[in-house]
Structure 1
Amino acid sequence: MTRQHTVIDGVDVYWEQGPAPMIATLTFGCGVRDESFRTLGVTHLIEHLAMSTLPRLHHEHNATVGIEVTRFFATGRPAQLVDFIAAVCEALSDLPLSRIEKEAGVLTAEGSAVCHPTAGVLLARRYGIAGPGLAPWDGPGYDQLPAEAVTTHAAKFFTRGNAVLTLTGPPPEGLRLPLPDGPRMVHEPTPSLLTDGPQWLAEEVPCIGMSLRGPSVSPVDALGLQVLSHRLTEVARKEKGLSYGIDGDRANADPSTTDRFVWVDAREGQEAEVASILWNTARELATSGPTQEELDHELAGFREMVEDPRFVDGDLDEFARSVLLGEPYRSPAEWLEAIAAATPAHVAAALAESLRTALIVVPSEVRLELSDLDGKPVPLGGCATPEWQPQGRVFKPSLLARAMSAAARGARLHLTADGVALIDGGDRHFVRFADVVGVLAQNGSRTVFGRSGCLVPVDSDLFAGIEPVIAAVDAHVDPGLVFPPSAFAS
């Protein structure tokens, strides 16, 4: 049966017949990328506030917040789904703001993330503290979100125009979607802060990972990542016994561009070896391409997946994304056709192109020596610090700090006409006042977070006589971006 469309209470409703029990998914074109550093977590808080109003239910139901969309979904009898959808919409129309403090504590205890932590770090390095790059950050904390930020965000994004309901069956009798009025949102693209070719990063991550930037809907690119994951399983896990889990995901910076991820865990002490296997396996695929047997295997697997009657719900989710976010959409039949037409040369060419955008990340203590497709060394990258030469007034660590720490002896804090900078050994971090996204104010100190992903600690325990720096930060930064430490901070 083909996909059907209707409009109920101003909300687009799409349905296609799937197996019982019925699944209903209310999707909003809103996720973490629509927040700011100062309001990080507000979408998740809204989701929790809405779900907290539901009575005890005896059917499967839940909600998730991702980078690009938020979903409320349930499985059950049609009458149960009617009640669930109506209750969620009514709660979003009149959020129980008195529960903010309690739900902030619940969310802190939950400690969930919108993506794998390794993927989050890769996004933050590519995009800085904005859009998808917000994914790994905690922000000020759930208890630092004012009620006004909650109501403003809900009124902007959780509206009938910015929602799509999908059903694995015809709309049940009595279905209502009493959401507030509002338009479908247009999401501004988040530009990449990196312009050079492949880089590797040493960060606080749980495992090795790689991101590749390319077209948002590209069966050939997706096919290349599938073959890469299969080869990594064969080499890193089965042949060498260095790894257990290989997985991946994606995140879209705009309707036409996506980051595709693959991450690989490693036995302790073998991280550099596994990272080399990841990179060299990808290089080999980009040079020689997969075998026809590998492509045939992936085609058979995809055909088996889409022929499963339960696939209807997943396809409806993808279609809802395309409607809300303006992303290209291909039907399962179109994906099958494109995968069947892909040749080893097509996959190699697509992978070679995307490898020029590659970011590889390893745990902070690991060091790598990698070569790109042209045989040149892959450089060590970092945060995209704006161009800056040491200048302005210089502040050194106190005598006590220098006596206690060799690292402190080389640290220097600079106050310039337009920002603050830190030289810490070989690392340089510079945040212009115009690019500040948040300032943590604590015990006479400030931590300044910059759009590029840099942060500069203006620490009174480390640097002597920094009152002029604190005064400059307070004078130049919007007071709305300044926040105290979270009461839940460890």
Structure 2
Amino acid sequence: MHHSHVDGVPVFRCAEAGELRATLRFGAGVRDEAYRTRGVSALVAALAVRETGRRTSETALSVRAATGIGETAFSVSGRTEDVVEQLAALCAALGELPVDGVAAGVGAASCLPWPAAAALNARYGAQASGLDGQERTCPWPPTTEMVQAHAATWFTKANAVLTLTGPEPVGLRLPLPEGNRPQRSAPRARYPRASWTHRSIDGIAVSVETPVDSAASDVAHRVLHDRVTAALAERPTPVGPVETTVVPHDSKTVVRLLFTPAPADAVEEVAATLWSHALRLARIAPEQTEVDRHRRDATPLLDIAAHAELFGTPDPDEDGRRRALDAVTPDDVRDAWRLAMSQAQLVVPSGQLLDLAGPDGRRLWCTSCWTWDELPPWGEKFHEPLRRRAVRRSQERHWTILTRDSVVFCTAGPFHTLRFDEVIAVVRHGSERVLIGRCGCEIGIDPAWYRGGRRLIRALDEAVPAQLAYDCDEERDSHVQRPSRA
């Protein structure tokens, strides 16, 4: 592998005969956005690709863009001279980004399968990598100013790396805008020990954090996938497929996820099967044959080098990675997975109740944001009008409590408290409000639901900083929905 710099951008190339394949990568993805700017990385990429097409001939190669959790990549392949032309045009487009198409925008589609995205949201809330699993109350494109600011911060030569496979590209130029390496911070998991919780998914998911360079954790993840797949295949009606994915968290940590669909009548059984196999792997070392079967390194060499450059992750040479995998023993696999399971999180569909044991043998901790067995806090109560309460069954009634530092949504059973300092956005639909919490939950308030509802809305507007609020002028098919028990 050859390492060089072009116009201040690191370049890694694996020499091969044939056409040139190039990927210009930026350390910018969904985890670098906020609720209000969600989708801005993909929007920058789409605008840059469109402008690149304008700057080159109709017969030029097409540039493909993809935005993930932590990276946005532009790929192009073909004759060397054509690739060189496209890369130069793309870099120029990023430096002079057209924003006339911002209003049309692009959708903020999830980068991951929904169960995995929802599991990250449950683990970290509506921030960083958890943002991908945050359901949108009102998709709304970022403003022109947001797009320009994001591009100027994240799509610069200081946050870029180019990987090439093929012949040496003579005359290569990368005229990206100047900039500073962005400062990133990754949030800690919201809960410090193994737990389970709810999200709006049609299946089961489990997430753990492991060291980014842990070969034993990688083997354990694959062993668990095989075991759960085999166990679920024995059911009269299989629920698969079982899937896994690995998501970057910070320079030292990745999040490993395993998830599978599950019909409503099998959720508890599937969750118990997945969790029991995860616990067993943390307690009993696997067979040597299982470890041997999964000693492989599927990550391309160029990807490892690019990630090390962009994010500061370890970059051992190919022989070093091979030796690390060969040295993994069954006991190493068990010990690595035992450490990971100490903060594992199991995610199940809303409305399910589980009774499982945790890694320490005690009952697995439930981290739902809803509180069942306590009285709501004191504060000013806003009840439904009497005419509405009269036609509702008692278990369907709801009311809201306003305290000095929070809003509390109450039902006949559980209640949900959202502190004002945990609000990350307020979406306004006329007189209605939806408060988005850092926990990943939403509190919807329609003043028509309550006696004194307009006074409640005024109080909410005063309690939450104005810069967190934005208007959604979309036509909606229905009123704001009350939050699910997430």
TM-score using structure 1 length: 0.89
Please show how residues 385-396 of structure 1 align to structure 2 within 5 Å: 390-396=377-383
Q: How does 1:46-85 map to 2 (within 5 A)?
A: 46-55=44-53, 56=58, 59=61, 61-85=63-87
Tell me the equivalent position of 1:93: 95
* Secondary structure class of the residue paired with 1:52: helix
Q: Residue in 1 aligned with 2:207?
A: 211
Aligned to 2:327: 341
SS of residue in 2 equivalent to 1:335: helix
Distance 2:84 2:207 in 1: 40
CA offsets 1:435-462 (integer angstroms, 9 cap, x no match): 3211011131211112232322222132
Offset at residue 271 of structure 1 (A): 2.6
Asked if 1:441 corresponds to 2:437, the answer is no
Verify: 1:15 aligned to 2:13, yes or no: yes
In 2, Cα distance between equivalents of 1:477 and 1:271: 38
2:305 counterpart of 1:319: yes
Alpha-carbon contact 1:186-1:325 (below 8 Å) kept: no
Unaligned runs of 5+ in 1: 306-310
- What whole-Å deviation, never above 9, does each CA across 1:249-271 have from its counterpart, x for those lacking one? 12233211221101122356323
1:149 partner amino acid: M
Q: How many residues are matched?
A: 471
Q: Distance in 2 between matches of 1:347 and 1:226?
A: 11
Letter in 2 for 1:403: A
Equivalent position of 2:266 in the other structure: 270
Report Cα offsets for 1:371-394 as digits up to 9, x if no partner.
Answer: 123332213322499x99612211
**1:172 to partner: Cα distance:** 0.7
Contact 2:272 2:356 in 1 (8 A): yes
**Alignment of structure 1 residues 303-452 onto 2, 5 Å:** 314-383=300-369, 390-406=377-393, 410-452=397-439
Aligned-partner Cα distance in 2 for 1:20–1:405: 71
SS of equivalent to 1:368? coil
Q: In structure 2, how many angstroms separate the alpha carbons of the residues matched to 1:367 and 1:58?
A: 56
Q: Identity percentage over the alignment?
A: 31
Aligned residue among 128, 133, 158 for 1:131: 128
Q: Answer yes or no: is the 8 Å Cα contact 2:370–2:415 preserved in 1.
A: no
Structure 1 Cα separation of the partners of residues 270 and 341 of structure 2: 18
Aligned twin of 2:249: 253
SS in 2 for 1:5: strand
Q: CA RMSD in A?
A: 2.5
Stretch moving more, 224-233 or 242-251 = 242-251
Residues 190-209 of structure 1: CA deviation (Å, up to 9, x unaligned): 122212x2222232113211
Conserved 8 A contact 1:198-1:379: yes
Q: Secondary structure in 2 aligned to 1:412?
A: strand
Distance in 2 (CA, whole Å) between partners of 1:295 and 1:49 is: 46
Letter in 1 for 2:180: P
Aligned residue identity for 2:159: N
Question: Residue deviations 1:24-55, cap 9 Å, x none?
Answer: 11111111111111111111111111112233
Gaps of 5+ in 2: 478-486
Higher relative contact order (CA 8 A, sep 6+): 1
Q: Tell me, yes or no, if the aligned pair for 1:162 and 1:185 is still in contact at 8 Å.
A: yes
Q: TM-score, normalised by structure 2?
A: 0.90
1:146 aligns with 2:143: yes
The 3-state SS of whatever aligns with 1:274 is: helix
Going from structure 1 to structure 2, the CA distance change for 1:325 and 1:384 (only over 3 Å counts) comes to: farther
| Structure 2 CA distance for partners of 1:73 and 1:10, relative to 1, 3 Å | same
Q: Hey, what's the Cα distance between the residues in 2 that align with 1:80 and 1:290?
A: 51
